[in-house]
Amino acid sequence: MRIQMKILMMACLVLCLISTAYAALGNAVYYDPPYTKSACYQNQDHGTMVTGVSDALWDGGRACGRKYKVQCVRGANTAPHPCHDGASVEVEVVDYCRQPCNGVLNLSKDAFAVIADTVAGKVQVEYNPV
């Protein structure tokens, strides 16, 4: 019984480490309200914690409704210390960010403000599917 418990604990530890290792990195920018009309939901309001995604995540429109946990990692330009330490935000994909899109994620201004100073305009983020 003790050996089985040790194996189970090791398996859980490995799974936790694997899920952390799959965090993706990319740049995030923001757009100003209103957050409707969107490519996914036209004029339906999906709140303020929303994002558009670039071709890297769009998946032919199948990205609509996906949720990501986003955290600022560091600045992507000359803004000093743009990240809000430890802050993260959960956003829903509601739109497509057409080329030239300056980030993998085009966050609502409200969502961006949770994780970083909007004066920065662009930051590097870590994002994970929820």
User: 98-124, pLDDT tens digit by residue?
Assistant: 988 999 999 999 999 999 999 999 999
DSSP state of 30: E
What pLDDT is recorded for position 21? 55
If 0-12 CB within 10 Å is exposed, 13-18 middle and 19+ buried, where does residue 102 land? Answer: middle
Taking only the tens place, the pLDDT of each residue in 55-78 is 999 999 999 999 999 999 999 988
Going from the C-alpha of 55 to that of each of 3, 14, 19, 63, the distances in angstroms are 47, 31, 23, 10
Single out the residue of 16, 29, 7 nearest to residue 124, CA to CA.
29
**Tokens matching residue 102:** 């300056």
Q: Tell me if the pTM is above 0.95.
A: no
